[in-house]
């Protein structure tokens, strides 16, 4: 085990010699209108695509830089294209570990993430699991939970944005699989590369922190569709249409913390809301296609609103059918989650599907590891989820089983580690 007091210097900036095509390719991301599955439910951002033949030849070789140079950019794994495999892991600091051990841990983890994201083995006893494979678009993203600040005597530096999320009536939260002092999001286009990173980060935690919970998810494989498509979730719905686009003028304002914000150490960062959203697939699949489409308010085949057009057409929420009733029902998910129904609330959703086999009751333990990113949860996740919580037709088919809220600082400059401005501020 690595000694928790040891704090090796971070390696050279990982962007050296690294392809940035993935990162730069992000700008074309996501869709345009309003599906917010589960609200707080689903919606695979699947931002960007690697389904064009040229890009496919770089599935393994593509590397995402860890250090961003100017120190003001955001960490990897937020606007980067969604990968095919992911792990979400929460750690709690070990009894007796405080600010000093946390700083050493973040220094070790940052150095390690830089190496792994560049496709290099861990400096200290690499397991070899990722040997042969390229970096495969690996991203490692670090965040701090509310309890971290108590454990490290840094309560005065805690952002108000980490105040606990309100309770929702549909919540059935398992506290053991919720929250945590530290949070790590791992994504890669190869399952062994992702697993390798998970094991290496666990090992590097040493005696300083222990795993609180860990979950595994997936998205569509690069090349599985003939052309770029918005993702589908395990209910079979096109999911991610409504994600904000980096090209929109208020994208950065909605997703990232401005440099003028308080606390200053969060400049360039973002707040991540995580929800494990179980889909009650046995119930859902008993509905007819027409019933499912009324629940969502969109066609299953192509995600177009029931009022017509294509996936990116705005729904006509005032349209009525021959029976005088709204074509998009009053409680349809697409209506309730539409941005114009929520004061323009927006968040960047970037989830993974999950499938953990069969639950004790015989139903599939499957659904969405929902992750959304916003400058302020009270203007992103919370208002949308409140609205959905009161009247979404989708609610009977989903269950929020775990939750987390994490402060994700901006990217470290070369030579810095994630959270350094907090821990040494």
Based on CB atoms, which residue is closest to a copy of itself, 226 or 322?
226
Based on CB atoms, which residue is closest to a copy of itself, 66 or 195?
195
Coil, helix or strand at residue 9: coil
CA distances, 245 to each of 29, 64, 249, 331, 349 (Å): 6, 20, 9, 26, 11
Based on CB atoms, which residue is closest to a copy of itself, 154 or 394?
394
DSSP 263: S
Beta strands 182-188 and 85-93, pairing class = antiparallel
Contacts of 187 (CB under 8 A, 6+ apart): 77, 80, 82, 83, 85, 86, 137, 138, 139, 194, 352
- Residue 388 CA neighbour count, 13 Å, CB half: 33
CB atoms within 10 A of CB 321: 11
Q: How many residues does the chain have?
A: 425
Based on CB atoms, which residue is closest to a copy of itself, 1 or 160?
1
Q: How far is the CB of 219 from a copy of itself (least distance, A)?
A: 7
Q: How far is the CB of 96 from a copy of itself (least distance, A)?
A: 19
| CA dist., res. 119 & res. 150, Å (int) | 35
Based on CB atoms, which residue is closest to a copy of itself, 132 or 323?
132
The DSSP annotation for 345-411 comes to ---EE--EEEEEEE-TTSSEEEEEEEEEEES-GGGTHHHHHHHHHHH-TTGGGEEEEEEEEEEEPBP
Q: How far is the CB of 99 from a copy of itself (least distance, A)?
A: 26
Q: How far is the CB of 266 from a copy of itself (least distance, A)?
A: 30
| CA dist., res. 43 & res. 232, Å (int) | 8
Q: Select which of 92, 181, 190, 239 is catalytic.
A: 239
Whose structure tokens read 């393994």?
Answer: 60
Is 70 known to be catalytic? no
Based on CB atoms, which residue is closest to a copy of itself, 57 or 253?
57
Binding site for a copy of itself (CB under 8 A): 51, 53, 56-61, 84-85, 125-129, 131-134, 136, 189-193, 195, 199, 203, 211, 213-216, 218-226, 229, 232, 234-237, 281, 285, 288-289, 300-301, 353, 355-358, 362, 364, 366
Active-site annotation, residues: 239
């Amino acid at each position: 085990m690595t000694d928790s007091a040891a704090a090796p210097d971070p390696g050279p900036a990982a962007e050296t010699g690294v392809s940035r095509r993935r990162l730069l390719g992000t700008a074309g991301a996501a869709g345009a209108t309003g599906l917010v599955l589960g609200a707080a439910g689903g919606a695979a951002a699947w931002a960007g695509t690697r389904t064009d033949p040229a890009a496919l030849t770089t599935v393994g070789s593509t590397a995402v830089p860890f250090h961003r140079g100017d120190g003001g950019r955001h960490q990897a794994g937020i606007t980067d294209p969604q990968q095919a495999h992911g792990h979400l892991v929460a750690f709690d600091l070990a009894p007796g570990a405080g600010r000093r051990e946390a700083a050493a841990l973040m220094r070790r983890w940052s150095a390690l993430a830089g190496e792994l994201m560049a496709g290099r083995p861990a400096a200290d006893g690499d397991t070899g699991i990722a040997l042969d494979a390229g970096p495969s678009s690996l991203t490692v993203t670090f965040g701090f939970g509310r309890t971290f600040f108590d454990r490290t005597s840094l309560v005065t530096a805690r952002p108000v944005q980490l105040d606990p999320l309100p309770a929702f009536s549909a919540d059935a939260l398992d506290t053991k699989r919720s929250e945590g002092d530290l949070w790590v999001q791992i994504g890669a286009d190869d399952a062994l590369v992702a697993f390798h990173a998970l094991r290496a980060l666990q090992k590097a935690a040493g005696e300083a922190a222990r795993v609180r919970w860990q979950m595994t998810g997936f998205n569509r494989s690069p090349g599985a569709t003939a052309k770029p498509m918005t993702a589908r979730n395990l209910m079979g719905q096109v999911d991610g249409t409504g994600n904000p686009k980096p090209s929109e003028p208020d994208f950065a304002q909605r997703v990232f913390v401005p440099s003028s914000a308080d606390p200053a150490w969060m400049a360039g960062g973002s707040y991540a809301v995580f929800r494990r959203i179980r889909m009650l697939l046995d119930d859902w699949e008993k509905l007819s296609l027409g019933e499912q489409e009324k629940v969502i308010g969109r066609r299953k085949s192509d995600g177009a609103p029931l009022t017509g057009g294509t996936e990116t057409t705005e729904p006509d929420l005032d349209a009525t059918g021959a029976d005088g009733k709204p074509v998009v029902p009053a409680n349809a998910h697409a209506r309730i989650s539409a941005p114009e129904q929520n004061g323009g609330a927006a968040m960047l959703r970037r989830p993974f599907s999950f499938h953990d086999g069969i639950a004790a009751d015989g139903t599939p333990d499957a659904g969405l590891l929902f992750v959304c990113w916003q400058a302020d949860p009270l203007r992103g996740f919370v208002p949308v989820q409140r609205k959905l919580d009161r009247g979404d037709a989708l609610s009977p088919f989903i269950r929020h089983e775990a939750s987390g809220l994490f402060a994700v600082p901006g990217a470290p400059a070369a030579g810095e580690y994630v959270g350094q401005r907090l821990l040494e501020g």
